[in-house]
Structure 1
């Protein structure tokens, strides 16, 4: 059954124009072509990236942590929620954001005041949020990869004609010899996106979590498919375009976490400009045009043609989604000089330090005492002026 399914899946009429097939991609006369089984190399590379990342973020103190300290990134000071089995059970099993009626019910069960219950849930939610140092380490890891990947991709393509004339990527298709630089560029990129997909559960959760999953899966499918059917020239261009702006974003995040507002803002504006030019202009009007419109002037459309361009359309929809967020942030900064913040991130519900929050709580307690009497374990204790007689 598996053999029949494999034979159906790899049939030539699905993946190649009429008159071309797998026989055209057999190694001969010193010419080497991409093979589907080469993609297995990406799995150990993905594992290697996961290991390197752990070393980079946790053990290599000479890399991320000292840099974070130099830039002023400090561990977020957060007050821990006192242990309460009733509230903890509700938090873990029901919801992290109780309604007003639920708060009232929890007050009766725990003996806490309404303010204490709300404070407990706020602190407990903040405990689950990643610290600035964790965010900084993740951003510094991605910044390092994207910058090196962009430099490596540019070095691999700088002397290639299809970098300057995208129509050249179809010259001689599908009989396009695989170069060593293309091989490693593909395997490293595929391994990296595989590692991102594996680690997404432990990474900082953002509001576009689902979009990130779709992006990673579409990218992995796109890289894998373009490799198997020798769309490698198009694939290298697409990867270079995506790497060209990402390291700006990650560096802006690093400065944001460090509190360097001006540096973050101006780097973000550069990122926004590069993103819009590469993802909303060059990608759709040059690359997609040359994969969607130009090929039909050479051969009849086939399933692989629609599949490949369908994946590109998924990426383009994600580009538009993220561009809306980016433009919204950029406009707010340029018109109101507001701080650039990543709208996708979950923020602490208070930006106050431990001392400031304690001062606020003390002020609230004094106000509450003045109105209702002193507090004891969250309850008002009213003075009894009646003398006790024997």
Structure 2
């Protein structure tokens, strides 16, 4: 029984790591065992280091948001606000209704000797407590801005100091050795590309793709920070710059440099093989998403230029009275931010932020 299970596991393992699928002709996994050109080749087991590294980065993020980002938010005047506590209203909110009708409002008004309008305001602010406050979003954006900027600068330094920076074709020539549904597809494609490109020793293409994606991310986070701090003009300016960088890198450099090399030049150098179709298919999926996001971004940036108004964050939406809504409709200018759903419609691979139209 144990022998049969071991044999089945061996067959499955061999199928998963089939050289016919992953590697070009005349290349085997054994070719990766020794150092090449003075450097060690990637190993599949290196991927396991992702988990402790992720835990370490998460710990750094917690410390950064608490001891650096939060004081900065308080310094620019962002406060962690909420409704003042009231035991009676809290009990009604939690156990009876979050949207009291007129009759209940009148009863609570008599019981507390409060104006009905004041009670409505309390319930509105209490409902909004379940949404991320501006302070939280500022801290999140400041962390992402810092992280993306550092990663991008490191990537540029790494690429610039590498001998293959000026000729991406060398990465192929030197082989042996890249709404919720949209974001779900995007994350699957990017995780697959990062993992497979490393295991398959296509790290040069993978590094260039990640560097291109990182080029605009920190600008988006900088625009969010300006929005939360209520620097509207700076927010609009940064968002327009972000839009330009996004379009140039993902509709210009990415297809005409990266995809041109991975499709046409690699076809001439080594020819197609099974995993070649997988990698290029994932890269094409990213390009389709780039087109969709670019359309959304350009539309919002155009509005910012024409009307001086960048659309706000879905998570920033708060319930307001009819008077407040009238004022907001006519006068408010809000610069967008992040949301956990469909966020990267404009932010590409990063995860959890997007600009939604008002």
TM-score, with normalisation over the residues of structure 1?
0.70
Local SS of the residue matching 1:263: helix
Question: Are positions 1:238 and 2:209 aligned together?
Answer: yes
Per-residue deviation, 1:324: 2.4
- Structure 1 unaligned regions, length at least 5: 176-185, 187-207, 358-390
Output aligned runs, 1:1-390, within 5 Å: 1-28=8-35, 30-58=38-66, 60=67, 63-78=68-83, 82-84=89-91, 88=94, 122-175=124-177, 208=179, 211-338=182-309, 340-350=310-320
* Residue-by-residue CA offset, 1:82-102 (whole Å, 9 max, x unaligned): 2245x64687xxxx8x8xxxx
Note if contact 2:132-2:315 (Cα within 8 Å) is conserved in structure 1. no
Task: Go from structure 1 to structure 2 and tell me whether the alpha carbon gap of 1:118 and 1:68 turns closer, same or farther (over 3 Å shift).
Answer: closer
- Residues 105 and 119 of structure 2 are in contact (CA less than 8 Å); yes or no, is this contact kept in structure 1? no
CA distance in 2, matches of 1:228, 1:301: 18
Deviation at 1:27, TM superposition (A): 1.1
Cα distance, 1:80 vs. partner? 6.7
CA offset digits 1:109-153 (Å, max 9, x no partner): 997799999867644431111111100100011111111101111
Partner of 1:178: none
C-alpha distance in 1 between matches for 2:259 and 2:296: 23
Q: Is contact 1:245–1:274 with CA below 8 Å preserved after alignment? A: yes
- How far 1:232 sits from its partner (Å)? 0.7
User: Residues 16 and 302 of structure 1 are in contact (CA less than 8 Å); yes or no, is this contact kept in structure 2?
Assistant: yes
1:7-62 residue CA offsets vs partner (Å, 9 max, x unmatched): 1010101111222221221214754111100111111000001111111112x2xx
Distance between the aligned counterparts of 2:72 and 2:216, measured in 1? 22
Matched positions, count: 308
Q: Comparing 210-219 with 297-306, which one deviates more in the overlay?
A: 210-219
Structure 2 SS opposite 1:312: helix
Provide the secondary structure at the position in 2 that maps to 1:24: helix
Structure number with larger C-alpha Rg:
1
Q: What is the root-mean-square deviation of aligned Cα atoms in Å?
A: 3.2
Q: 1:15/1:321 Cα in 2 relative to 1: closer, same or farther (>3 Å)?
A: same
